[in-house]
A and B are shown apart, each in its own frame.
Chain A
Amino acid sequence: MFNFSSLVQKAQSFIDPTQALNISPSDRNPAKSTLFRHQFRLPDSQTPLQEITAEITISPPVAYSPNATQGEKDKDRDRGYHYEGKLHLSEAYLCFSTQPTSFLQSASTSTSSGFTGQTHGGGPGGNGFTLPLCAIRRVERLHSQQYQFALAITTWNGLTNSPTNDAAKTPAPQQKITIQLAGTRQACERFCDGLKKGLKGGVGDVGKLKKVVAECYSEYLLQPGETKKDGKKDSVPPDAGLGMIFRYPGDHKKLRDRSKMRLWGEYLRDYGRNVTLIRQPTFHKLIRVGLPNRLRGEIWEQTSGSLFLRLENPMLFADTLAKYEGRDSLAIDEIEKDLNRSLPEYPGFQSEEGIGRLRRVLTAYSWTNEEVGYCQAMNIVVAALLIYMSESQAFFLLSTLCDRLLPGYYSTTMYGTLLDQKVFESLVEKTMPILWDHLVKSDVQLSVVSLPWFLSLYINSMPLVFAFRVLDVFFLEGPKVLFQVGLAILRINGEELLDAADDGAFISVLKSYFSKLDESAHPKSENAKLRAVTRFQELMVVAFKEFSGITQNSITEQRMKHKNSVLNGIESFAKRTSIRNLGPDSKRLSVDDLGSLYDRFYGVLYERQQRSQIIMEETERRDRARRAKAAEVVTGLSENQVVEKGRVGLGPSPTLMDYDGFREFLAGMARWAITDSPSPPGKDNTSESEKHSYFGNSVRRREVSLSPWGPGNPEPADHEFMQRLFRRWDVDMNSALTLQNVVTGLAHIKGKGDIMGSITYFFELYDDDGDGKVDREGILRISEALLFLSRRGLEGSLTPSSSMTGLSEYEADNPNPYQPEGMQGNTNERFLSSVSAFIRRCFEYADPDHPQNKVTEVEESASDGLADPDSFGIGDDSDEEEDLLDLGDSAPVRGKKPTGIPSIPAASDKSDIRNRSVSKAHAEAANAALDPSKPLHITLPTFRMVVLADELLEQFFESSFPASFRISDKMVAAASSSASSLTTFSNIGFGRSTPQPSVGGTSSAGLVPPGKGLRGVLDNIVTDGMRVAAEVRRRMDEAQKELEQNAVHRPDDDEDDEEGYDEPRTPGGNAGRTVRSEDRDLLEGADAEAMSLRGQDGVSEVKQQDSLTPTAGRSRSASVVSSKVIEFER
């Protein structure tokens, strides 16, 4: 197999083995402690606290005299086994391994191969022990003259369960381990202190230990007073699986079960059992030859580490079952379907007993890990486990399997399975290139053959006896075993497989191979010994000798390499499926739109989760750093740990969007949903605006990076309209939206482009109680919403360049002569007046006969004679309704509003309140219709009529409102002349794909200090919306007067403004000129003012705005956009 192993080794030196060892998203621990836990198979609660070089001496099994002299002890030491290695201390475990330490922060990757790399049949733990501190009975410090420290550890081995009466007769030999610590005195002292502390903590767990150990068959096996004949023992043997009732699979004689049992009995007696077992070379050999039936479960538990999980929480299985008794779940339904069909060939699973056990284990697990729940193949694996172990043991072993040994295999997307298939394929390609070429040529897809091998651990591929032999090694050495065996199968059958021309032939070669595993591998050999070698033995030899180069490391490396493509594949499948299943409403949207919606929806969820994760980690890291100093914890946090949670391909990801998520989602789609006040409060305005005018977005992005909305993302607004939309879409009333909700919601808005539909929709949004009536408050809110939605200009066909709304002062200084000035400015002015006309008309046609308000009506007419809505409407009727286009004199005034909008943060409470009170005063003085004591309402027909009475509003509902939800960026792309550069962009899908220009345009708009002078008032009016409807109205009534006031008023205020931030922006002589030109403009009157104001935003702003309105001014804006995009992508 050419130079594969050297290749792997080379790769190992590049790839940090600590990464992606376990790609499970839940495994986000610092690399070192992860490795530590994996090496010693410890539960996730353990972290490495101390470590020290040490030499251990295991006293020979023969009698040990506690009163031995030093000399005798030394002799003992000579007689026993010595191992050099590292001693580790975690919270509750003392571990020793001869394997080079793998997880020192300073350790280079090559030294760590001891763990992640080849294990030479020793398993990751190597020789040594993993001793729960609670299993230590006594630690003595030996006084050794030669050098430092020596500890003598006495364990509870064999003492936990010995019947009290027998104890006197034959005291079990005490298990003693002598440990010589090598290190500075200080280091040794420190280690001992840590050990002392741990031991104290461990005392409380002795009870648990007894319980756990009692379930281990070894305790029964080694029980004192044992008769070799296995005949009469006074106690009942612990449950060693269904095999005790229904026989174990295979022929006992052929398996030589009895001699294996004797060997194990001896080993366990000499070197400790279950938790106190010491791994020595014999241990690994004994496992390689196959475990004896009754001990198999226990050794599995020991080598996989599920024993320690059980020790941690011995009652978890029973408690879980009790807790969820009688409850139903999807997983349980699925489990029930499969109970009768799990290893049906084994008699135990045709009985209620076996099926009952299987049900309980699978059910309990599905409750403890609801993300995984139940996956077909688990039934087969658990059924196999149950032949050899008790329910509780199988339960914990299943946990270990799912969480650690087979990460992601059984998840809802099965990404782990798919990933490992890719890995397997690539290993085949590397190790057996000829076979691989053949497979490719004959179009045989290897993974369809090998997938069941991995998924069910060969259990339903090979005859059971052999599958269990594979499992024996698998639990000891880890997932790489599955790959090694798989490769060996292909290698051994290579010749025949090269003849197989299609899937069918391929499969049948392997099938017949599996059925002949028990036959001789060399039936024709002269050599009797060779003849005796079975095909299975051959398989094991090939797997572990020839493919010894397959290490955990090479697998990890391959997993990293293929991970993204596998996840992408799963995600695109999930997307397709999910879009297809969206139901009839989704048909109203195009497939592209649905795709983009899907991306946006999950993109927002994903990003939000990422962000919260990062924030959490940041705090955690800080906490840990603090603690680390105090407690000298040796933790290394990997800086570049990949944050993966929430990725769809990894399994259950969030599917619900809360209101904040919804805001973000909208902000990615609709301009109006981006806030006007994105900057953190209290920032220096001058410097901010300075940056903005020059650097625009890039600066902004950096600033926002700390915001909860993520770097580069526009901060969403929070407007009442959005809340209403959210509530409306949230049909299930669980304060969160599913993709289905969102699609349905949008389908109703964008669906058919039917104006009546969207008018009705809008009306219903504000009809809180669903009685077909919207009251005064509702009318005002509607108008607020209309202004809110239009404050960045309107989408669609209102005017070709309706984008020019969010203008700021800057443009005033540099009026751009090339900018066509008339149209779009007017549109916004016109829209504003339309809205105010809308309010007026609403009140005019409103129905005062609100039944529930009869009483107040009387009062109100008493209190205010002018309260009649009709009377207030008449005043400006003439002015308004004559001709909408002829707003010449009043328009300018209003025209300032949209231009000024940006200056007021929509969400700014203070200015809101301030203006509210101001406007209220105005309102009440001017307009009786706003008198809160006078009830009125409009109905849908009224609303419709009022809307249709106005051309702009009509257009708004017909096109611009639906169009303001820009689902796909494709719209931009389509209009672009260089669409190719946009394809990737439009496919990015995540929130960050929001065109940056929008941020710039809006954010800079938000920089104008609110509430200065008259313009400020006007700005506030807009932002405050129709709370100040009367103000607007009054203004319209008194347009002329207002204008004069304006002219008088403005200069001072504006001068203040300009000095505030224009000067720094326009260095040189510009400033002076600016003021003058501004003055002149103002003096020229309102018309001019409107113009210049509009111009203020500057060329750059205009461009950015344009990019947001793809429908408007197509060709021009499109080219701008595409150039933007290119920059963005760079």
Chain B
Amino acid sequence: MAEATAPKPSSSVKLVLLGEAAVGKSSLVLRFVNNDFQENKEPTIGAAFLTQKCNLPTRTIKFEIWDTAGQERFASLAPMYYRNAQSALVVYDLTKPTSLIKAKHWVAELQRQASPGIVIALVGNKLDLTNESSGSGNALGEDSETDAAEGENDDGDARKVSTAEAKTYAEEEGLLFFETSAKNGTNVTEVFTAIANAIPETSLKGARGPGATQSSANRTEDQSRVNLTGPRDSASKEGCAC
């Protein structure tokens, strides 16, 4: 598993995904790791573990991703998973306002309990269910599935959480912020790249990358393609931890 063959300095970064049940945490990871999407993803029991590398211009970041179960009662297991995490992806479903509330709780929990300096990204998933999905993704990863976004029916906008609302909150709390679609891949790699960039070079500790907002993430994105080297199949395909 340890394929530390990159010439560039490589470091592992522990990333934990948190958020309400069925907001698409596992799907985001699946998209990021395998560039795949499953309509009926088995619920995560406890947590799933996957890894994926992310090549930055100056270094390679190997994400060790802990994808946690979303059901409320699993929350008490969470500390087990976010222990020592250097970054976190807090996901909500932008068609479901309650999931943002839950996300805020997670952010607060992380800020208080997780390792200091943890990089947190707030992610509104299921952008494909909204009307503007085609507009917001600048689709630069290898997964340029703009066609999928294009074909979105515009009969109903299922969005219930406005971008502004979530973004304001994210800025207040100093979080990275993205709206994504795991289904069609919009912004997924961008999230991880931005996190990779925001992880401080030194010992991966210290202050949260302040300038790493969406815009800055997009700016650096050209050079920092995420290495989606094929499916690391058997090891990462199944959503369960073992």
Contact = CB atoms under 8 A, between A and B. Distances in A.
Interface of A: 334, 337-338, 340-344, 375-377, 379-380, 411-415, 417-418, 443, 445, 447-449, 451-453, 455-456, 460-461, 500-505, 507-508, 510-512, 514-515, 569-570, 573-574, 576-577, 580-581
A447 B105 CA distance: 24
Contacts of B83: 445
A502 B42 contact: no
Given A448-B80, A569-B79, 7 more contacts: A334-B71, A412-B73, A414-B76, A418-B77, A448-B46, A452-B45, A502-B1
A514 B242 contact: yes
Nearest to B71: A376
12 contacts: A337-B21, A376-B21, A379-B43, A448-B66, A451-B47, A461-B240, A504-B2, A505-B2, A570-B76, A573-B79, A577-B109, A580-B112
Contact of A448 (B2, B72, B81): B81
Contact of A512 (B42, B64, B73, B234): B234
B84 interface: yes
Nearest to A421: B80
Interface string B203-242: 0000000000000000000000000000000110010111
Contacts of B1: 500, 502, 504-505, 508
B138 interface: no
A570 B76 CA distance: 6
Given A455-B45, A501-B2, A573-B75, A449 B241 contact: yes
Question: Which of B39, B66, B80: most chain A CB closer than 10 A?
Answer: B80
A415 B74 CA distance: 10
Nearest to A417: B77
Contact of A377 (B41, B45, B79, B238): B45
A395 to B, nearest CB: 21
A1117 B146 CA distance: 73
Contact of B242 (A412, A500, A511): A511
A443 B80 contact: no
A417 B112 CA distance: 25
A206 to B, nearest CB: 42
A376 B75 CA distance: 12
A577 B73 CA distance: 12
A456 B2 CA distance: 29
A503 B43 contact: no
A344 B234 contact: no
Minimum-distance CB pairs A-B, first 6: A451-B46, A452-B45, A505-B1, A340-B40, A341-B40, A376-B43
Interface string B52-71: 00000000000010100101
B84 A443 contact: yes
Given A375-B73, A452-B240, A502 B45 contact: no
A412 B112 CA distance: 23
A456 B242 CA distance: 12
Contacts of A445: 80, 83
Nearest to A462: B242
B158 interface: no
Contacts of A380: 42, 45
A507 B232 CA distance: 14
Nearest to B68: A448
B235 A411 contact: no
A341 B38 CA distance: 10
Contacts of A344: 40, 42
Chain B interface residue bracket vs A: 35 or more
B234 A447 contact: no
Contacts of B43: 337-338, 341-342, 376-377, 379
A515 B236 CA distance: 13
B12 interface: yes
Contacts of B235: 508, 511-512
B218 to A, nearest CB: 29
A577 B18 CA distance: 14
B53 to A, nearest CB: 12
B73 A511 contact: no
A414 B74 contact: yes
Nearest to B43: A376
B51 interface: yes
B242 A449 contact: yes
Nearest to A489: B242
Contact of B241 (A340, A443, A452, A570): A452
Given A375-B73, A448-B47, A576 B112 contact: yes
A344 B47 CA distance: 18
Nearest to A460: B240
B109 A511 contact: no
A337 B93 CA distance: 14
Contacts of B105: 577, 580-581
B238 A511 contact: yes
Interface string B80-116: 1101100000000000000000000100110011000
Contacts of B112: 576, 580
Contacts of B80: 445, 447-448
A508 B108 CA distance: 32
B151 to A, nearest CB: 23
Interface string B152-174: 00000000000000000000000
A505 B12 CA distance: 13
Contacts of B12: 502
Contacts of B140: none
Contacts of A502: 1-2, 12, 64
Contacts of B75: 573, 577
Nearest to B14: A503
A334 B45 contact: no
Contacts of A443: 84
A448 B234 contact: no
Question: Which of B44, B66, B73: most chain A CB closer than 10 A?
Answer: B73
A411 B71 CA distance: 12
A460 B76 contact: no
Contact of B76 (A341, A418, A510, A514): A418
A397 to B, nearest CB: 19
A448 to B, nearest CB: 6
Contacts of A376: 21, 43-45, 69, 71, 74
A542 to B, nearest CB: 18
A615 to B, nearest CB: 31
Contact of B42 (A342, A412, A501, A570): A342
Contacts of A508: 1, 235
Given A334-B21, A448-B241, A452-B242, A375 B71 contact: yes
A380 B12 CA distance: 33
Contacts of A503: 49, 64
Contacts of B77: 414, 417-418, 451
B81 to A, nearest CB: 6
A112 to B, nearest CB: 34
B155 to A, nearest CB: 23
Contacts of B79: 569, 573
A1010 B84 CA distance: 65
Given A337-B21, A413-B73, A507 B49 contact: yes
